[in-house]
Amino acid sequence: MEAYLFESLKDKRVKCNLCNHRCVIKDGKRGICNVRENRSGILETLVYGRLIARHIDPIEKKPLFHLLPGSLSFSIATVGCNFKCLFCQNADIAQMPSDRNGLIMGDVSTPEKVVAEALEGDCKSIAYTYTEPTVFFEFAYDTSKIAYEKGIRNVFVTNGYMTPEALQMI
């Protein structure tokens, strides 16, 4: 899927404007997050709908204590992160493994399916968490719009290293 928030540059290079690294990516290469790839001058997200994790958690695990206290949150993640923290508790899913020949792990889903699962689980919110939701922005954004229409709150558990352009969209 074509990524949101990128610029086409000379020589089929692209500039990703999703996180503050603002990677300039050559044709056939990936950005720092390793889940956004330049394909002939078009930036593609490789993780749209590829969920590596989906769980029902108490909202307090996010950790939020004053937003819908005592409620459940449907938590989702794809692989990918724009940081490489040595202390990351979820590094096994946050970092794109180098031993898979570039294949993206995760079960295929859709924004509609995520919202339906949240409703079935009596969840009052959907949390984009475990890894870095900035790098699966397109899927989170599309899901959040549908969730909002259904009265479900949206929670980004993020390192916050996103651009003002991304923040304005959400």
pLDDT digits (tens, 9 = 90+) for 84-142: 998 999 988 898 665 556 668 889 999 999 999 999 999 999 999 999 999 999 999 99
Task: Tell me whether strands 50-51 and 107-108 are parallel, antiparallel or unpaired.
Answer: antiparallel
Q: Is 100 exposed, middle or buried (0-12, 13-18, 19+ CB in 10 A)?
A: exposed
Domains present along the chain, CATH in parentheses: 6-45 (no CATH), 50-169 (3.20.20.70)
Instruction: Measure the CA–CA gap between 14 and 62, rounded to whole angstroms.
Output: 34
- Specify the pLDDT at position 105: 82
pLDDT above 80: residue 7: yes
SS3 category, 96: coil
- With CA atoms as reference, report the closest residue to 35 among 77, 75, 68, 73: 77
Amino acid at 155: V
CA distance 76 to 48: 12
Query: Is residue 164 reached through a cis peptide bond, with omega within 30 degrees of 0 on the bond before it?
Result: no
pLDDT of residue 101: 62
pTM of this structure: 0.94
| Rounded Cα gap, residues 116 and 54, in angstroms | 13
Of residues 169 and 101, which shows the higher confidence score? 169
Which tens digit of pLDDT belongs to each residue from 52-73?
Answer: 999 999 999 999 989 999 999 9
Segment 14-32 shows an average pLDDT of 98
Nearest to 137 by CA among 165, 102, 98: 165
Give me the mean pLDDT over the 140-146 stretch.
Answer: 98
Average model confidence (pLDDT) for the chain? 94
What pLDDT shows up at residue 147? 99
Q: What is the pLDDT of residue 93?
A: 86
pLDDT digits (tens, 9 = 90+) for 72-83: 999 999 999 999
